[in-house]
Structure 1
Amino acid sequence: MSVRPILRWPDPKLRLKAAPVTAFDADLRALADDLRDTMRAAPGIGITGPHIGVMARVVVLELSEASGVRVYVNPVVEWTSPEQTRHPEGSVSMPGVTEEVERPARVRIAYQDLDGAARVEEADGLLAVCHQHEIDQLDGIFWLHRLSRLKRERVIKRFEKLGRA
């Protein structure tokens, strides 16, 4: 469909909670297509409605070509493992910087597909990290806020330096 502009940190919209999707129609499918195209152009492996200023609970992931594009509507984390893992994270809204974030190693999420059908998915590894990262974004929690104050300040300085370069 089309590549849309991505909101850049510190846009205040990135701190807003996205609204649940209630209409499973052609407009939702078009949004999912635009999110996919925007994510690929960024480039990134995950994107949400809020990243492009659309405050709807929609996530698009594409961890690899082999895994394909996955669309999650109204996702929520139902369960997290007590085991933790660390993985580098970043954002299409803050390109060029990453930092390790500690999160539960496994998750179970509930969501709807593009037709509105209820689904449940369990994940570990990178997929579990992405689910938590993107659902945080839908809840208005930007990934930086999962870092210690010191690490967050360092990431912000690196990002600001990139902007001046």
Structure 2
Amino acid sequence: MTLRPILLHPDPRLKKVCDPVSDLSDELRVLADDMLQTMYDAPGIGLAAPQIGVTRRLIVLDCVKEEGAAPRPLIMFNPEILASSDERNVYEEGCLSIPDHYAEIERPAGVTVRWIDRAGDERQEDFDGLWATCVQHEIDHLNGVLFIDYLKPMRRHMITRKMQKLKRERARD
């Protein structure tokens, strides 16, 4: 498996709407495995293909955080939200493409998601709590939406300026 470099905001590839996966190839399965490894290494609980420069509808996530608990990696091709709860939750969200910046974001507390798994089988599951927040955050990436897009313009602009400075500093190193 290969660790993939994670794009940093602002990058135009993070704002593109991704193409559906029409044919599940071995190449895409390897990409999904690489994404999981990259996510765990970062460390994060979710990663979307556009964050590594691939504009395909593919996300990976694993929200198991309890010490000693077995990991539950999920690979989702073409994930779509079928239903959202009326109840809302607020979580402090971060993003591997916007390191060291966090904000409280309100989203539906529960969602029903349908996707194609690594084996090519259609799956459907209800998610709540952190899992619901994470899957919505990652699906947003597939639609060119970042968590900072939910913030007020001044705060979003401030984070973007800090990210531009970080990218300049990293380019010099």
TM-score (norm 1): 0.91
- The CA RMSD measured in Å over matched residues stands at 1.8
Question: Residues of 1 paired with 2:164 and 2:92: CA distance?
Answer: 19
Secondary structure at the counterpart of residue 20 of structure 1 = coil
1:136 paired residue among 123, 136, 140: 140
Aligned pairs, number: 165
Question: Residues of 2 paired with 1:31 and 1:160: CA distance?
Answer: 28
2:66 equivalent to 1:43:
no
Q: Structure 2: 5+ residue runs without aligned partners?
A: none
Distance 1:154-1:100 versus aligned 2 partners, 3 A rule: farther
Secondary structure at the counterpart of residue 133 of structure 2 = helix
2:103 aligned residue: 99
1:88 paired residue among 92, 98, 102: 92
Q: Structure 1: 5+ residue runs without aligned partners?
A: none
In the TM superposition, residue 9 of structure 1 has moved relative to its aligned partner by 0.3
Question: Residues of 2 paired with 1:9 and 1:111: CA distance?
Answer: 27
1:2-26 deviation digits (Å, cap 9, x = unpaired): 1011111000000001111112121
Query: 1:142-157 to 2 correspondence within 5 Å?
Result: 142-156=146-160
Distance 1:66-1:101 versus aligned 2 partners, 3 A rule: same
2:3 equivalent to 1:3:
yes
Instruction: Report sequence identity in percent.
Output: 40
TM-score (norm 2): 0.87
1:18 aligned residue: 18
Instruction: Tell whether the 8 Å contact from 2:78 to 2:115 is kept in structure 1 after alignment.
Output: yes
